[in-house]
Structure 1
Amino acid sequence: MRVEIWSDIACPWCYIGKARFEKGLAAFAHRDEVEVVHRSFELDPNRAKGETGPVVPMLAKKYGRTIEEAQAMEEHVASNARSDGLDYRTEGRDHGNTFDIHRLLHLAKARGRQSELLDLAYRANFAQERSVFDPEVLVDLAVEAGLDADEARAVLADEDAYAGEVRADEREAAELGATGVPFFVLDRRYGVSGGQPAQLFTQALEQAWQGRILTPIGADAAACDADGACEVPQPGAHA
């Protein structure tokens, strides 16, 4: 069975959702027969390459909040991440165009190191003092994931390298009706949106294994939409 996951490295619920999915997969009896493929989805494709800015002021502007309120939003997302065993820093992060990261992830996929690079990029973006919008940081992450440094630099230097693969993923997401991420498609039978609880992923895997048709499953869960907005549930709300 194949599970395809559309995500963006800039989306905190993709970071959290990946961890929850992996917990759900670990509880699935046929987990060794599941192929996981990560696909590209840009939350802010119109942002100029090289244009970066701090996350908290961006959140304040997007949601019409004060800086203090935006910081509280980050703290709440961090609480969700930490409850799943993930480190999450709420200050000093930046955001920007993620197209190059997606291109490099397609190189990693071709070399059988996609999940490794994705994990490293998530940790760099959400847990460490490393900007994933710096090409040299991306090369370092690629090497840590097991890729060749020169090959990674060559891909980043060639704007056409793996660009078609990224665009194809995004077109397919649109055809499947995905308006936000994370978005999970299980064997083209079930669609699961958002950072759902781990047990729901296990349930979805079991139902997809039984060969039923593609249909949404589960209540709405926190996600980042195609305009780049990331839902932040209020304290006490389902996440």
Structure 2
Amino acid sequence: MRVEIWSDIACPWCYIGKARFEKGLAAFAHRDDVEVVHRSFELDPNRSQGDTAPVIDMLAAKYGRTLEEARAMEAHVASTAHSEGLAYRTEGRDHGSTFDIHRLLHLAKVRGRQDELLDLAYRANFGEERSVFDAETLVALAVEAGLDGTEARAVLADASAYADEVRADEREAAELGANGVPFFVLDRRYGISGGQPAEVFTRALEQAWDGRVPQPAGGPAADGAACDVDGECDV
């Protein structure tokens, strides 16, 4: 059975949702027969490369909040992340274009290291003092994930490398009706939106395995906390 996950490295609920899905998968009896594929979804596709801003400033501007209110929003998400055993910094993080990260994740997919790179990128972005919007940081993460540094640097230097693959993922998400991430599709029969609790994922896996079709992938069976196509994230 295949599970496809549309997500963006800038989305905190994708970070949390991935951890919850993996817990749900671990409780699934047929987990060894599940193939997980990560798909690209940019929350801010029109943002220029190199255009970065502090996350707190971005949140305040997007939601029309004060800086203190934006910090409180981040603190709430951080508390949820911490409850899942995830590192999460509420200060000192940047927001920027994730197009290069998605392109590099497609290289990692070809090399069989996609999940490893995604975990490292999430951890760097949300839990460490490392900006994932810096090319050299991305190369270092690629090497940590088991990729060849020279190949990773060449992909980042060529804006067309894996660009079509990123755009194809995003078009497919739109065709499936995904208007936010994380978005999970189980065997092209069952869609789930948002960072659901682990037990929801376990039940969905069991239903998909048994061949029941409670709802087509075009409409999520349940909604959880997510980030939408306008880049707004539930808090």
Q: 2 CA distance for matches of 1:144 and 1:130?
A: 14
4+ residue runs of structure 1 moved beyond 3 angstroms? none
Q: 2 CA distance for matches of 1:212 and 1:180?
A: 25
Offset of 1:221 from its aligned partner? Answer: 1.1
Q: 1 CA distance for matches of 2:58 and 2:102?
A: 22
Q: 2 CA distance for matches of 1:93 and 1:168?
A: 29
Aligned to 1:42: 42
- State TM-score, norm by structure 2: 0.97
Q: 2 CA distance for matches of 1:48 and 1:156?
A: 15
Could you say what secondary structure the match of 2:184 adopts? strand
1:64 aligns with 2:68: no
Q: 1 CA distance for matches of 2:157 and 2:61?
A: 33
Q: 2 CA distance for matches of 1:212 and 1:152?
A: 41
Offset of 1:217 from its aligned partner? Answer: 2.1
Q: 2 CA distance for matches of 1:60 and 1:211?
A: 45
Query: Would you say how many aligned residue pairs link Structure 1 and Structure 2?
Result: 231
Q: 2 CA distance for matches of 1:4 and 1:76?
A: 28
Could you say what secondary structure the match of 1:32 adopts? helix
Q: 1 CA distance for matches of 2:95 and 2:63?
A: 16
Offset of 1:212 from its aligned partner? Answer: 2.3
Q: Which runs of 5+ in 2 are unaligned?
A: none
Q: 1 CA distance for matches of 2:181 and 2:114?
A: 18
Could you say what secondary structure the match of 1:50 adopts? coil
Aligned to 2:16: 16
- State TM-score, norm by structure 1: 0.96
Aligned to 1:235: none
Percent identical among aligned pairs is 81
Offset of 1:210 from its aligned partner? Answer: 1.2
Deviation string 1:70-108 (CA, Å, 9 cap, x unpaired) is: 000000000000000001000000010000000000000
Could you say what secondary structure the match of 1:192 adopts? strand
Could you say what secondary structure the match of 2:192 adopts? strand
- Computed over aligned residues only, the root mean square deviation of the Cα atoms, in angstroms, reads 0.7
Deviation string 1:43-83 (CA, Å, 9 cap, x unpaired) is: 00001110000000110111111100000000000000000
Kept after mapping to 2: 8 A contact 1:204/1:217: no
Q: 2 CA distance for matches of 1:114 and 1:140?
A: 15
Q: 2 CA distance for matches of 1:212 and 1:50?
A: 46
